Amino acid sequence: MYPCDPARKGASHFSEGAVSSERSVEYALTRDPPIDASFPAETLAQAIPSGGVNLNALLYTAAGAGRHPTVLLLHGLPGNEQNVDLAQSMRRAGWNVLTCHYRGSWGSPGAFSFAHCIEDAEATFDWLRREGAIAGSRIDPEALVVIGHSMGGFIAGHVAARYRSIRAAALISAADLGSAFGDLPNNRAVAVMDDNVGTSMGLHILSGTSPQALAAEVASNADRWRLPNFAGDLAGRPLLLCTSDDGFTSGSDALVSAIGAAGKVSQAHFTTDHSYSDHRISLQREVLRWLREIQNYLCV
């Protein structure tokens, strides 16, 4: 799936010979790649420094010699849907994938907040660039893509807007924090946050925060934390926007409108819930097709 110089960038598992682009996508969805005994696929736990603590992270390394394009995959609030199936299919297609847990979530130390999530995503991206600069690394620092779901989709847009070295971004049911939560009356915003993080249910996924604190934070940043604010910085790069029947479509539509006709935007809508519960294969197929489409852009 990645046709650049194999000695520098790593070879595709499923694009050899007569295998078509579409078939290579289906293979990545349904078949294990050939085993490379010298450069096997690995799942490596990582401790990524951010804000004075180490974030819990996993690096899914694709098999094969050389450097591989790499995706930073960001989960949402609180991250019940981790999109591990998507990470695995992208790895079978020849991509490394890095996932992380923000401060105060899923065992990572520190206090959870939206601002910390943004900082943690930036720190994780910086870690990828540093690792990619090391001799012998299997991470290509010139082919880094960010993909996020829900709150992670918003953060993906935010981080991609800041870092021009992020070559492309995919936002899956991105939550426009400003309009989706910040514009709500306080009592409604608190209830929505509680419904997301499960505090009143007795869940302990997040630490150092509360539904009230999260609602107050997003209200105070409502004007800044809107997807259309990123349009000017994202317009020149490939962007995939996936939406579902979860009520967040308007934020993605507003971003597309703000980018305008000159943008490099691909869109796909799925008739399913926020977690794409009954469209997991369809979601993976869409993302894999998009990654194939942008591969020539990554080779420039």
Report which of 72, 78, 114, 81 is spatially closest to residue 273, judged by C-alpha positions: 81
**Domain 6-176+226-298 CATH class label:** alpha beta
Domain boundaries, the chain: 6-176+226-298
Side by side, which strands form the sheet with 264-270? 42-50, 53-61, 96-100, 68-74, 139-149, 166-172, 238-244, 264-270
CA distance linking residue 90 with residue 97, whole number of Å: 7
Kindly give the parts of the chain with pLDDT less than 70: 1-20, 300
How confident is the model over 184-226, as pLDDT tens digits? 999 999 999 999 999 999 999 999 999 999 999 999 999 999 9
DSSP assigned state of 181: I
Residue 222 token pair: 């409502």
Cα–chain-centroid distance for residue 264?
A: 18
CA distance linking residue 279 with residue 254, whole number of Å: 24
DSSP assigned state of 15: -
For residue 239, list its beta bridge partners: 169, 265
CA distance linking residue 100 with residue 120, whole number of Å: 9
The CA–CA distances, whole Å, from 35 to 39, 61, 293 equal: 9, 13, 26
The pTM of the full predicted model, rounded to 2 decimals, is 0.94
Amino acid 184: pLDDT: 96
Report which of 13, 149, 146 is spatially closest to residue 71, judged by C-alpha positions: 146
Amino acid 69: pLDDT: 97
Report which of 241, 239, 186 is spatially closest to residue 212, judged by C-alpha positions: 186
Strands 42-50 and 53-61: antiparallel
Handedness of CA 107, 49, 66, 22 (dihedral sign): positive
CA distance linking residue 63 with residue 39, whole number of Å: 6
Residue 137 token pair: 């690394």
Amino acid 300: pLDDT: 64
SS3 category, 118: helix
Strands 166-172 and 264-270: unpaired
Helices (H) and strands (E) in the chain, counts: 12, 8
